[in-house]
Structure 1
Amino acid sequence: MDQLEIKALLERVASGDCPVGEALMELKLEPFRDLGFAKVDRHRGLRQGIAEVIYGAGKTPEQIRAIAASMREDGDKTILITRMSPEAAELVGKELPLAYHEMGRVGIVGAMPKPTGTGRIIVATGGTSDMPVAEEAALTAEALGNEVVRLYDVGVAGLHRTLSHLEDFMSARVIVAIAGMEGALASVLGGLADCPVIAVPTSVGYGAAFGGLAALLSMLNSCASGVSVVNIDNGFGAGYLASMINHIGDRNPG
Structure 2
Amino acid sequence: MFKEIISLNKLKQSGRIKHFYLQLSDLVLDDDTKKLYSLIDASSALHIVRDPISVLKGVAALPHRAELLKVEEDFVPFGMFLHQDPFAHFSKHIFYMNHGLTMNTDKQSGVGEGKEMDFLPDINSTEWWLLNYEQTFHDGIMYQLLAPGLKNIKLKQTTDFVGEKCFESMCELADYFGFERPKQSDRWLFEKRVSDLKHLTPMKLYANKSCPLYTEQKSKEPKINKELVENSIKITLTTRFDGTLYILPELDISSLFEL
Give me the TM-score of the superposition, normalised by structure 2: 0.20
Give me the TM-score of the superposition, normalised by structure 1: 0.20
Specify which structure has the higher proportion of strand.
Answer: 1
**Structure whose CA Rg is larger:** 2
